[in-house]
Every structure is written in structure tokens, then in C-alpha cells.
Amino acid sequence: MELTLLQQQFGLALQYQSDGADCDITSNHFDADSRLQVYRNNFVISLSEVLSATYPMVELLLGDECFSQIARHHVLNTPLHKGDVSDYGESFDDTLTQFPNVIDAAPYIEDVASFEWSMDIAFHKAGVPVDEEVLQVQALAEIPAEQQGQVVFHLFPSVQLIKSNYALFELFDAVQSNCFDALDIHRAQQGVIQALPNGHRTPIALEPEIFQLVESIHQQQPLSDIPPELLPHLNTLMEKALIAGFTLAKH
């Protein structure tokens, strides 16, 4: 059997879509399927551990047994296309929606999963350099007044935007402090997740107007297109080290 075909068959077999005989697994004291089951178990356990590390809040909220069952379902229905597992689990929020009883009991759980995936993205983008064309904020002083409307601010690559009908930022704080007494999960919140070059991540809740400004910057709108009442909040974004610099819009 050609190597490529063998690899494909083995990948299918790990997800119970093929059997040991199709993978040229030798039988002796144990038949081919028994040998394959060892690989399957290790495969499911390993990728479930990846999901557990990526989604600790989801696991905490659902409980170990429920999370384990959903993780197993995800692993068996979501192929691993490469050896690097750093981006495995991207669609775990979609998997959660396939369990109506879970969604009924915890309607916020899909948003929590999206929040934690954004945390993961922020971590992996923490060391991504800012584009060379982006100028330092200090260079704003050199921009003539007639060109200031062309200024386009840029967020740091790690900054991830979060907007939810649930209090995800308060939930994160409650989990960190192990204190849920004051948590009102059914309260809309918005904000960003920021990651430093060392990988340390900080969720930052923002007021609606400030978040609206962040959205405008994320969409790379020039200052002339941003509602004037939002512009005073630029200082807040700079104080929180969310803005990497700026470019000038090309006409």
C-alpha cells in the first residue's frame, strides 16, 4: 500500500471510519483491531488534553465528565490535518452547539468557548511583529494638520475583540479568584484580549463607546470617518497599550 494512502486509512481508522485490516496492521497475539484500539485511545486522550488546556473555563463550567464526552465527540468528528496541534480546537464552539441539553443548561457556553479561543489566538500572536509601514505614535507630532484626518491607527496583532450578551470578562475574573458571588453572567459585555510579547494575556472589559472606537480602528477607518465623539477615548486605548502605531490612508 502506498504511504499516502496508508496514512489516509490510518487517520480514518483513528476516527472509527476504517479498521485495522485496512491499515496493514499485523496481527499476532492481538488482532489488528485490538492493536488499532490502543492507538485510538491514545489519540482521543491526547487531543482531549489539548482541548482541556485550551478551554479550561468551559471544562470548569460543564464538569469533567460532560466536557470529556464533548471533547471525545469533537476529536472523533474533527480531523487533525497536521502534526502541530497549536490550532486544534478552533471549531469547538460549533461542537458545543450539537449538544442541545448543554446549551439549554448553559446558554452562554458557546460564547465562553469563543472567548477562550480568542485567548489562544492572542497567545500565538503575541510575538508577531508590527508591520514595518506602521509608524510609532510619537510620529503623530510630525503630521500636518491637513493630513490628520488620514491617520489610520493600528492595533497590536495580538489584540482580539470580544462582544457578547454575557459577562465573559467578569466570568474570567470570577474563575481566577474562585469567587462567583457577585457574578451576573446574563449581562452584556465587550472588550479586548491583549497579549504581551512574553505571552501573558490580559482580558480588558471596555465601555460601549470605547469598544466602538476599537472596532473602528480594527476596521482601519481613518480618523475622518470615525465619529468625533469617540476620538477622546484614544487616550484610553494608548494608556492600555492597545495601539501599535499608525499609517496614512491613501486616496
pLDDT of residue 4: 53
pLDDT of residue 11: 52
Q: How many angstroms from the chain centroid is the CA of residue 10? A: 29
C-alpha gyration radius of the chain: 23
- What average pLDDT does the segment 29-35 reach? 52
What is the overall mean pLDDT for the chain?
88
Q: Which domains does the chain have, with CATH numbers?
A: 1-106 (no CATH), 128-250 (3.90.930)
pLDDT of residue 20: 43
- What average pLDDT does the segment 120-144 reach? 95
Give pLDDT tens digits for 65-74.
999 999 999 9
Q: Model-level pTM?
A: 0.84
Give pLDDT tens digits for 232-249.
999 999 999 999 999 999
Q: Is the pLDDT of residue 207 over 60?
A: yes
Residues 6 or more apart whose Cβ sits within 8 Å of residue 160: 118, 119, 121, 122, 192, 193
Of residues 251 and 231, which shows the higher confidence score? 231
pLDDT of residue 35: 54
Q: 229 near 203, Cβ under 8 Å?
A: no
Q: How many angstroms from the chain centroid is the CA of residue 108? A: 16
Give pLDDT tens digits for 74-123.
998 888 877 788 889 999 999 999 999 999 999 999 999 999 999 999 99
In three-state secondary structure terms, 191 is: strand
- Read off the pLDDT band of 21 (50, 70, 90): very low
- What average pLDDT does the segment 38-62 reach? 89
Q: Is the pLDDT of residue 1 over 50?
A: no
Write down the residue that cell numbers 474570567 correspond to. 172
**Helix axis angle, 32-54 to 64-77, nearest 10°:** 120
Dihedral angle computed from the Cα positions of residues 177, 181, 186 and 189, in that order, rounded to the nearest 10 degrees: -40
Q: 6 near 36, Cβ under 8 Å?
A: no
- Read off the pLDDT band of 10 (50, 70, 90): very low
Say how far apart CA 91 and CA 120 lie, in whole Å: 13
Q: Is the pLDDT of residue 198 over 80?
A: yes
In three-state secondary structure terms, 86 is: coil
